Structure 1
Amino acid sequence: MKIAYIKPFAIALLIIIVDQLIKIWVHQHMYIGQEIHFLGDKGMLRYTENNGMAFGWELGGVSGKLALTIFRIGAVAAIGYGLYYLIHHKYHRGLILNVALIFAGAVGNIVDSTFYGVIYGYAPIFQGRVVDMFYFPLIRTQYPAWFPFWGGQPFEFFEPIFNFADAAISVGVIAILIYQKRYFKHEPAVETNLNSEVVEE
């Protein structure tokens, strides 16, 4: 396999391994809801599990969970093919790297939802829960009383609890949005044929 293919998929594999090592450590050394603070009250590990998508969003019920997992598998297959296509057609290296991040993050969460229920003995295949742990409540305050709908209610930024795979997906997507003009800029076509009319002296 050419090195152009090896590097992006090697980066993706490294991210998947790191993601799984973190999740396994958290599962084996923490209990649900336990917190380990490393930035005081602004940054911590908080062990949570969810049935759904990134940052704790989810579809309800067994059928919703199954549909989500199957969708994830299909999406990962499509992203993996897309990554191969980008490499094969020599797209911008930054785009290839960011798609590799998205691919790795998607695979990392599929491992949880597909196999964790079986591995840890709490659910059949495809019904596992995704392990989340990173929590950065940087701002904790409340909406002012005059604020529509949420006046007086608590406000927290950043509220979602996420994992390394979620972070990889987010970085990849945000970078593509920021640098899309660079990644998809129009390259002037290279003329391969001479003018059909030959001017003879």
Structure 2
Amino acid sequence: MPDTSRNDHAQRRENRDPNESFNPVPRLMLGLIAVLLAWALYYIYAARPATLPALGDRRSAEVLAAIPARAVDGEQIFGANCAACHQAAGTGIPQVFPPLAGSAWVNGSEQVLIQILLHGVNGSIEVAGNTFNGEMPAFGDKLGDAEIAAVASYIRNQWGNQAGAVTAEAVQAQRTRTAGRSTPWNGGAELATLK
């Protein structure tokens, strides 16, 4: 017969498992919840969520219409989309990404540069006496005509480049000219046919 006195003694030494009692939530906590709820209701009322979202800062439509449109910043577009590969100084990365400084592709025909920006390039291209075999992404779907014109104008007038500015109308004309194209240009050989 097992010795039950030992088991009884072990059970008496141990504390009972903790359990939730019927203590109410502290009044301080209830007061804090009530204050936060009142503040939230006041905030929603004061914010006037029924107003037009376009007028969130409470300016009238006439005031917003009178603000002149800010010019597209080619340097900012270049920094956000191109500088990682071509570098901030337009030097590119040797044997990996071609330089834009002194590049005949940048300083030459604006039509070719626009097409490169619109559709990208895939394959071998010679820049400044070096051959690069890589892939440049297309920006035609990502950037509008004014943005492509701004970044093209920026790189054509930086780092010693002295080519003319590119207009949004020129970009629109080139976009229309190759509207059916869905693939990148196949290297420098195919780009040379655009000149």
- TM-score range for the pair, normalised by the shorter chain length: under 0.3
Flag the structure with more relative contact order, 1 or 2, with Cα contacts below 8 A and sequence separation at least 6.
Answer: 1
Greater fraction of residues in strand? 1
TM-score relative to the length of structure 2: 0.21
Instruction: Tell which structure's C-alpha radius of gyration is larger.
Output: 2
TM-score relative to the length of structure 1: 0.21
